Structure 1
């Protein structure tokens, strides 16, 4: 018959074993490859992100296909938006984070919207944004002194970079007539002579070239706009203050996604046809820019300063104030 001492020793051994199992299991969840890797203490495990059909968000699409967010403990839902302004307006209601050009984000901040930047999405490369025309005679930026140019928004990156590049070609900014329309309507506008040219981004540039023989009048990522920071992700300041760990995890996974896309730009071209209205042959020909790995205040200040110079902003905007605490160059 077991003695009292024997029973106590056996009970102690069982407790120690149980504690070891619990400790080991808890430790595993914090290691890379664990069930909720890094997500055990985040404020929430779901994020609704506003996106548009542009190359800029390809890394996000690839990351979701590869389950990078899911493996990190985040459930990410991509919500298509009709415009950048609409995406920003939906923050704190139907969206937690949204994609937009830096120009739009900074303009909204200047108008009083409180935002915190969560990542850079895209940086211009050769011919990733350009002035395109179906008019064979318009083959150089100085050919038309009063050009009618289609842009997706007169207050966005297209108008800003077009003015900068045409100015270096000797075209007076005041003589440029910008006509707003969606990218999808620009091809028809050029063919009907409603506009002389259109500021476009990929994959729309390659699509119009293949379908109409349009040519690039000028790359708008040259000279003062070379390697220009194009777009990024932002949350409302209220959401960012209330969910710092969740957004830190988002930025960490986004960095991996951006790195993967940078290492394999074929994957970017491959995923395009799944969310943009282009066939695989067109997608395979698009020019792909750069996917920055982190928020860089010096790089982003360049955008804000150009906006100030061009009177898009009422004064100088300090981009550092829009970054998560502790962000440095």
Structure 2
């Protein structure tokens, strides 16, 4: 009898180990994944910090999913990568994603990446600039990363909130790295920058913030998200559900800003001093059609979208 009892206990221990091969306290990998590897595009290291941290600490591996991060060199590289089949999931601004969806690209959102907070994106000028109040110029020259992108949308909204006519803004496009040169040579009165470029401009050039974007219609504004192609999403529902689950957990951990600041030098190439000084936004832990609809509706009201986009239709079905 004693031998039978020992065998029974051993058998139960083996069964428990098999049901959770990661051991006590670790989530077992999701069963029946359509695939165990995803190629995921990443952009701004601040926006994508939780995802990068989750890959680095093995969170996806423990869930049975290998995530290969692919750096996106330009703002539209993620969507181009999806279209070319080089990415399974892409990172992009919500403005870029909704523009693509409105033009017929089949997309399914997989997670919100980042939401703005005070001074995470702002209009910046150089010392000595005569542009000291947002409404003081009737037709300001503003440099943005893309004329129909997030920066331009925010600038139009900010200008309207300040009492100006947003149709009078003269936009010029530059990469974030080239924006200070546009300010120095006078081709722009102000530059719309996100972090960490704001802090770097302040450190290196003594730049000052003309106006914070977190005001009016763009206060606490959804900034960016992750999306998969529609066909890929339908064929890989369990795999993407696992991706969303691990991402949501990583986003929740990133609510501790100290962890994000500590990780940025190793995961995003941002030096420790800059990481300590930057303004950080929020990392949503769930997809909210109501929250994201704000972006699409502002795009519609400002003419970036000809018709109103139904954002909840882009979310995975529960």
Scaled by the length of structure 1, what TM-score is found?
0.89
Q: Deviations over 1:252-296 (max 9, x none)?
A: 11111111111x212222333335554321221000011111000
- Aligned CA RMSD, in angstroms, stands at 2.3
Unaligned segments of structure 1, at least 5 residues: 1-9
Pairwise CA distance, 1:84: 3.1
Note the 1:119-158 alignment, pairs <5 A: 119-134=111-126, 135-158=128-151
Q: Deviations over 1:169-200 (max 9, x none)?
A: 12211210111111111112112222111000
Residues 283 and 32 of structure 1: CA distance in aligned 2, closer, same or farther (over 3 Å): same
**Structure 2 residue aligned with 1:49:** 40
Counterpart secondary structure, 1:230: strand
**Structure 2 residue aligned with 1:247:** 240
Equivalenced residue count is 314
**Structure 2 residue aligned with 1:78:** 69
User: Is the contact between residue 39 and residue 45 of structure 1 (CA under 8 Å) also seen in structure 2?
Assistant: no
User: Is the contact between residue 62 and residue 257 of structure 1 (CA under 8 Å) also seen in structure 2?
Assistant: yes
Please say which of residues 45-54 and 198-207 is displaced more in the overlay.
Answer: 45-54
Note the 1:69-108 alignment, pairs <5 A: 69-91=60-82, 93-108=85-100
Note the 1:147-296 alignment, pairs <5 A: 147-262=140-255, 264-274=256-266, 276=268, 278-296=270-288
Unaligned segments of structure 2, at least 5 residues: none
User: Is the contact between residue 49 and residue 267 of structure 2 (CA under 8 Å) also seen in structure 1?
Assistant: no
2-structure distance, mates of 1:192, 1:184: 14
User: Is the contact between residue 121 and residue 233 of structure 1 (CA under 8 Å) also seen in structure 2?
Assistant: yes
Q: Which of the pair has more CA radius of gyration?
A: 1
Scaled by the length of structure 2, what TM-score is found?
0.92
